[in-house]
Amino acid sequence: MKITVNNTPLELHEGAKVQDAIVKYYSHSGKKVPVPLPAAEDRYGNTIAHDGELTDGNAIFLKTETGMPLPSVVFVLLGLGLLCACGTGKKAASASHAEKEAVIFAVNDMHATIDNFPKLAWIVDSLRMVYPGMLLVAAGDNQTGNPVNDQFPEKGLPMIELMNAVDFNLSAVGNHEFDSRPKGFSSLTHKANFSFICANTTAPDSLGIRISPYKIITLSNGLKLAFIGLLIINQNGIPDSHPDNVKSFSFRSPFDTAPEYIYLKDQSDIFIALTHLGFENDVRLAENMPAGLDLIIGGHSHTKVAKEQIFNNVLITQAENKLKYGTLIRLTVKSDGSLQRHMELIDIRNTKNENATIRAMVDKYNDNPVLNQVIATASDDFSSYEELGYFMADAQRGAARADIALVNPGGVRIDHLPKGSVTVMNIYQLDPFGNDLVVTTLTGSEIRALMLSAWQIDDKSPVYPSGIRTRVRLSADGNMSDVTLLTDSGAPLDMNKTFTVAMNNYMTQVYRYSHSDPGRSLYISTADATIGYLKELKNIGSYRGEKRVETE
């Protein structure tokens, strides 16, 4: 994936996030990576979160100062009648005899942030007192990011139940909706009281999944709103999810698909795209759609759209991620047929008020004795991705009873863990993906080929090993020119000998290298394998200063 940071072209691995691009930029420039990372903007001046998803061709610009904070939600709610300062006019398809208004509150990329739901519910309740017919919509990635939700007996069910309780009307399909696997996602769509829409995704009838390409909602005042759902597809032709999660589905380009639904404009008063494409791709969609699209409510890039953004006469909104913000959108069809559009970003995270019923639901989900169970004690602090990567590799090697274990750098999701009690939740935060643990028989030469392949895929970052050490030789341009494999004692590894090698099934499917054994699944997730290992180990030794990869 090719992106630019401060106009510097960079090559990143598929699925890289904004924070990966920032770190790569400093590394590429030979500069020390600042802590904390600087704020970032897209090419349109919108702030983008560090964990925002990137797509090929994105541009990032680093900021040295943060912008002014939004006014408090209380102030916003008191001033709801004055929101027309941020709005634009557009000619609607047909005139009506009286002015009519549609109001939408939109969120995106909630990522199972259930602790902010009581605040969201209070804001939605308050807004509905002013706008009784207000619609509540999500632009995808409702799931993944919180072990309380992700490891629930039915994966993802808490988010669906909370969305039902707050009375969502509609959701786009994000790439993380597929994390519960085809059968799990199908079950969740049937338990949702709201509709999922995606026009460029097709599922087999046997799956019974409830996804429609579009939905037309008729308001009590007679206005018809047509929503089309669109999902970004990566360079491999699938969403950013494990291939096993989407193997039952087929996907098309959202940009080829969307124009086929322009007829929805003739069946509605207002035509809206509810997308999970990323802001830059929303701009591309707006600029390439035939005339008739009125509004894009977007997600995926975790972009904070705090001011009006109009492209090709299409208003585009997005509200960062994790229920920090929501966008209040007012669409007024005037008596002459023109369409007046207003948007206002509302701060959810910093409101002090909560809905008591939703708080009780969240507290019940969080009161989880399984996740809070202490399974081991760490004798020292973990203070880097590297130290935790070595720990994960040791745990997976021990759980698999393998000679060697390898962990991809992108699989380590936290960079610190304090000494003391280690809980089940800590491990799920460290390793949230649910990938299976796989054991493959590889020769030393095949392991070396894997390392060479992984270097480019993992954004020129080394794999974390257990059972071996590596010495990486870099060329002048920063690429890996060679890698030497060593035993733990520092002796050269026998390149003709075969070894059992444990790794996650994402690595087995993504890394491209020559090898004979496709491996076998142990039918346990890497996180659960680590938990089992720690329950036996009890005490975790110090990894302070551990160095298993040398560069020269």
Residues 232-246: tens digit of each pLDDT: 998 779 998 878 889
Predicted local distance difference test score (pLDDT) of residue 34: 87
Closest to 127 (Cα-Cα) out of 169, 79, 170, 164: 79
**Of the given ranges (10-14, 55-59, 143-147, 280-284), which has the lowest mean pLDDT?**
10-14
Span 305-349, pLDDT tens digits: 999 999 999 999 999 999 999 999 999 999 888 999 999 999 999
Torsion of CA 235, 241, 245, 246, to 10 degrees: -30
Strands (E), 265-324: 270-276, 295-297, 303-304, 310-311, 314-317
Span 87-114, pLDDT tens digits: 677 766 544 458 999 999 999 999 999 9
Residue 68 has pLDDT above 50, yes or no: no
Q: Which residue has the tokens 């020559």?
A: 514
Residue 204 has pLDDT above 50, yes or no: yes
Predicted local distance difference test score (pLDDT) of residue 363: 96
Which residues make Cβ contacts (< 8 Å) with residue 115, sequence separation at least 6? 362, 366
Q: Percent of the chain having pLDDT more than 90?
A: 72
The pLDDT of 252-268, averaged and rounded, is 97
Predicted local distance difference test score (pLDDT) of residue 87: 67
Residue 165 has pLDDT above 90, yes or no: yes
Residue 73 has pLDDT above 80, yes or no: no
For Cα atoms 210, 214, 215, give the angle at the middle one, nearest 5 degrees: 90
Please give the residue that has the higher pLDDT: either 522 or 160: 160
> Does residue 409 have a cis bond before it (omega within 30 degrees)?
no
* H-run or E-run covering 6: none
Mean pLDDT of the chain: 91
The pLDDT of 274-293, averaged and rounded, is 97
Span 460-485, pLDDT tens digits: 889 999 999 999 998 888 788 899 99
Predicted local distance difference test score (pLDDT) of residue 96: 45
What pairs with residue 78 in β-bridges?
none
**Of the given ranges (161-170, 220-229, 519-528), which has the lowest mean pLDDT?**
519-528
Residue 133 has pLDDT above 80, yes or no: yes
Span 345-355, pLDDT tens digits: 999 999 999 99
Residue 47 has pLDDT above 70, yes or no: yes
Please give the residue that has the higher pLDDT: either 156 or 71: 156
* Confidence tier at 84 by pLDDT (50, 70, 90): very low
What pairs with residue 436 in β-bridges?
525
Residue 51 has pLDDT above 50, yes or no: yes
Predicted local distance difference test score (pLDDT) of residue 31: 81
Predicted TM-score of the model (pTM) = 0.78
Query: Judging by DSSP bridges, how do beta strands 211-212 and 214-218 pair with one another?
Result: unpaired
Predicted local distance difference test score (pLDDT) of residue 471: 94
Predicted local distance difference test score (pLDDT) of residue 74: 40
Residue 44 has pLDDT above 70, yes or no: yes
* Confidence tier at 79 by pLDDT (50, 70, 90): very low
The pLDDT of 380-400, averaged and rounded, is 96
Please give the residue that has the higher pLDDT: either 137 or 151: 137
Count how many Cα atoms sit within 13 Å of the Cα of residue 518 in the half-sphere of its side chain.
2
Output b/e per residue, 386-404; b: 16+ Cβ within 10 A: bbbbbbbbbbbbbbbebbb
* Confidence tier at 381 by pLDDT (50, 70, 90): very high
Give the whole-angstrom CA distance, residue 90 versus residue 460.
48
Residue 215 has pLDDT above 80, yes or no: yes
* Confidence tier at 65 by pLDDT (50, 70, 90): very low
